[in-house]
Structure formats: C-alpha cells, structure tokens
C-alpha cells in the first residue's frame, strides 16, 4: 500500500483490515490440494507481511497523549491548541506510530459521530516534501484533500481554501510527517514554518508532527520555532538499549508478539528469546529494522516449508548474528556509546 497522503488513499488505509488466515494444523495444511493450498499459503504470506502494528510502549504512550489532547482540544478555544511532536532517529517507527494513531483515532471518531460517509475527514495525513515553501505546503494539503485551486492563487488563498475545507469536513487531527524537512534557516523554510503556524491557529484540530530529531531541527528555532515549541509536547523516541532491563524485556515481548503473529507450524513463541540481545545489537535497537528481518525470515520459512525461524534463517534475512556489532549510522548516540 502506498503512503496514504491523499484523502482517498487515507480512507482506504483506514478501512483496510488485514485478514488473518484460518489457523490450520500442519496435517490440515498438508491435506489441502491444488489451488486451495496455494490460496492458503498466499493468505499466510499476506498476513505475515501485513501492515499490523504490534503494541509497544511508544505506541501506547503516544496514543494516550493524543487521546488526551484531542479531548482537550475538542472544546472551542480562542487560543492556540497544544499538539504533539514525535521525534527520534530514522527507522524507529515514528511514521508507523503516527499512521496507526491516526487510523485508530479516525475509526473511533467516526463511531462517535456516527458518520461513516465521505462527508467527513476526522484525520488528514500529509508528508512534507523536501525543501518545501509555505505555498508548496499548502498546495500539498489542497492536493491531498482533492481540492483544485486557481493557477495563480496566493499562499493565503490556498490556505483559506484548505482551512475552510478542513472545517467543513470536521477534521480534528492533522498529522504532519517528515516535518524536519521544513528548514527555517532558509527564506522559504521560514515562510513554510510561519504558514504552518498560522494554519494551525485557524483550525480547531490537534496537530501531530513526526520528524527526525525535532528538538535540534530548524523547525524549533527562531521566532516561529519558539512559538511552535511552546505549544508542542515533544515525545522523544529512542532506540532500545541492551543495558536497560526494561528495554530488553519489551524487546523480547515484541519478538514474542511477532512470533505469535506469524503462526509458523514448527515455531513456538519464545524460540527466538536466546537471540534477543544479539538482534538488539545488530539492529541498533530499532524495532523497524527488527520487524523487517523477522518478516523476511518468517516469509522464507513459509516459502521453503521449514516453518521455523532459526539463527541461520535470521542470518539469511540479513541479521548477521555472528558478525560484529553494527550500529546503523542513523543512530549517532548509540554509536558514540558503543564506540563503533
């Protein structure tokens, strides 16, 4: 599924619910013949690689905060509304969490409002394009909503159009991903930041930003940056660390949840516990990287019929458990700590 940065795609993303295949015993699986067997295998592979977010402490904490903020912000207010910024290194799962929070919020909001129609859009999700200007940012919002705007429309005209549309569609959560792309130390970046600030002031919605290392990014510097920083709670996502017992415990729980999700016939939940710290080491404590390796290994286990994830299959999936500790370049803090 493509990044749901258009209203139609977003609605498809919200409505999409991966279907878990019927849990069959190995004997029942073997008894299947021809197309039935192929269909069952395809369903299992789809389920293994499905866009299912497993619960983590970050996901729970961010969901709780968003729930709190959206309830607070539901009351009409003349002043700027508080928002949340998810910050952290790449591949830690910021976008995954933002998307999941948005999806769950939209489902709840539609239930609350009793409106499943296309007339409302409780959540909009936008990805900031690189080196964006204020006008480009507003045009991005207009495009994602499916709005057309006159060719010579000014930034203000497009912003007014977007604001009016979002108000009509009762939008109450705006997710802005890759927000670090707004660089306020350049003229067009500053314009984008100021546009974003004015935009946020005009809509009765909670803003959720996600981006790389936001506290030290350009977005939170300068006059507008300070104003923005003042109204945003920053949630810092950090990689899992091997010397923190609570991190190791949660890491292991995540692995077990993944093992349970895959439903491999010859694999029991907890079989991978012995490799937990090694996997944490080689992935740099990134759940995104871990999930990718485990998905690859589980897919291979179904395709080759072994139905089990082993150290060898993890290595084949790119883990390299016997190799030296490799800290991804995008995790500078960890690299400094481990001295690699």
Partner 1 sequence: MNPVSPLPIRVRLAHGESLDSYAAALARANHQSVHDIEAALHAQRVLTSRARSSPQRKALWRALGALHARAFTTPTHLHGVTVRERTLCPHCARRDAYGLRPDVGAVCLTHRVWFGTTQPVPDMALSIAAERAFRRHVAPFAHTGSPIWRLAQECALTTTDPDMLTAPGQGTDIQRVYPETVAYARLILSPPFLRVLSNADLPRRDMVSIIGDRVTPLSSGTDSWRAQTRLVDLSRDLQSPGGVEKWGLTAACEAAKALSSQPSSARRADLRRAAGPTAVAS
User: Could you list the residues that contact partner 1 (CB under 8 A)?
Assistant: 6-8, 118-119, 121, 145-151, 160-161, 164-165, 168-169
Spatial distance between the Cα atoms of 111 and 107, rounded to a whole number of angstroms: 6
Q: How many other CB atoms sit within 10 Å of the CB of residue 111?
A: 10
Spatial distance between the Cα atoms of 77 and 93, rounded to a whole number of angstroms: 32
Q: Least distance to partner 1 from the beta carbon of 123, Å?
A: 13
- Main-chain dihedrals φ then ψ at residue 16, nearest 5 degrees: -70, 125
Spatial distance between the Cα atoms of 114 and 116, rounded to a whole number of angstroms: 7
Which of 152/243 has CB closer to partner 1?
A: 152
Q: Least distance to partner 1 from the beta carbon of 32, Å?
A: 38
Rounded to a whole number, what is the distance in angstroms from the first to the last CA of the chain?
36
- DSSP assignment string, 254-304: HHHHHHHHHT-TT--TTTTGGGHHHHHHHHTT-HHHHHHHHHHHHHHHHHS
Which of 143/238 has CB closer to partner 1?
A: 143
SS3 79: coil
Which of 79/148 has CB closer to partner 1?
A: 148
Which of 58/109 has CB closer to partner 1?
A: 109
Q: Least distance to partner 1 from the beta carbon of 120, Å?
A: 9
Which of 99/158 has CB closer to partner 1?
A: 158
- Main-chain dihedrals φ then ψ at residue 235, nearest 5 degrees: -105, 115
Quote the tokens at residue 340. Answer: 């690699």
Which of 203/294 has CB closer to partner 1?
A: 203
Q: Least distance to partner 1 from the beta carbon of 154, Å?
A: 13
Spatial distance between the Cα atoms of 93 and 88, rounded to a whole number of angstroms: 9
Residue among 235, 214, 240 nearest 337 (CA)? 240
Which of 67/110 has CB closer to partner 1?
A: 110
Q: Least distance to partner 1 from the beta carbon of 121, Å?
A: 7
Cα 62 off chain centre by: 11
Q: Least distance to partner 1 from the beta carbon of 197, Å?
A: 22
Q: Least distance to partner 1 from the beta carbon of 288, Å?
A: 31
Q: Least distance to partner 1 from the beta carbon of 231, Å?
A: 27
Residue among 145, 129, 231, 124 nearest 188 (CA)? 129
Instruction: Write down how long the chain is.
Output: 340
Which of 163/214 has CB closer to partner 1?
A: 163
């Amino acid at each position: 599924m493509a990044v749901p940065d258009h209203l139609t795609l977003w609605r498809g993303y919200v409505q999409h619910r991966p279907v878990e295949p019927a849990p069959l015993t190995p004997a029942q699986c073997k008894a299947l013949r021809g197309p039935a067997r192929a269909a069952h295998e395809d369903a299992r592979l789809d389920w293994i690689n499905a866009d299912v977010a497993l619960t983590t402490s970050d996901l729970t904490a961010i969901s709780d905060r968003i729930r709190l903020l959206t309830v607070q912000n539901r009351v009409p207010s003349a002043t700027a509304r508080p928002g949340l910024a998810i910050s952290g290194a790449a591949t830690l799962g910021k976008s995954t969490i933002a998307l999941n929070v948005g999806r769950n919020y939209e489902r709840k909001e539609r239930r609350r409002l009793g409106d499943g129609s296309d007339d409302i859009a409780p959540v909009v999700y936008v990805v900031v394009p690189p080196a964006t200007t204020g006008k480009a940012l507003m045009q991005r919002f207009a495009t994602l909503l499916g709005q057309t705007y006159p060719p010579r429309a000014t930034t203000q005209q497009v912003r007014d159009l977007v604001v009016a549309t979002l108000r009509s569609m009762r939008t109450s959560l705006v997710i802005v991903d890759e927000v670090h792309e707004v660089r306020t130390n350049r003229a067009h970046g500053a314009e984008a930041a100021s546009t974003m600030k004015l935009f946020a002031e005009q809509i009765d919605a909670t803003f959720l930003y996600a981006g790389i290392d936001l506290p030290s990014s350009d977005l939170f510097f300068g006059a507008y940056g300070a104003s923005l920083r003042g109204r945003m709670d920053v949630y810092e996502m950090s990689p899992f660390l091997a010397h923190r017992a609570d991190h190791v415990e949660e890491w292991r729980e995540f692995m077990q949840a993944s093992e349970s999700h895959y439903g491999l016939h010859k694999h029991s939940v907890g079989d991978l516990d012995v490799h937990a710290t090694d996997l944490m080491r080689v992935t740099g404590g990134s759940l995104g990287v871990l999930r990718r390796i485990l998905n690859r290994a589980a897919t291979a286990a179904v395709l080759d019929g072994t139905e089990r994830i082993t150290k060898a299959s993890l290595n084949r999936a790119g883990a390299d458990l016997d190799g030296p500790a490799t800290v991804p370049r995008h995790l500078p803090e960890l690299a400094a700590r481990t001295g690699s």
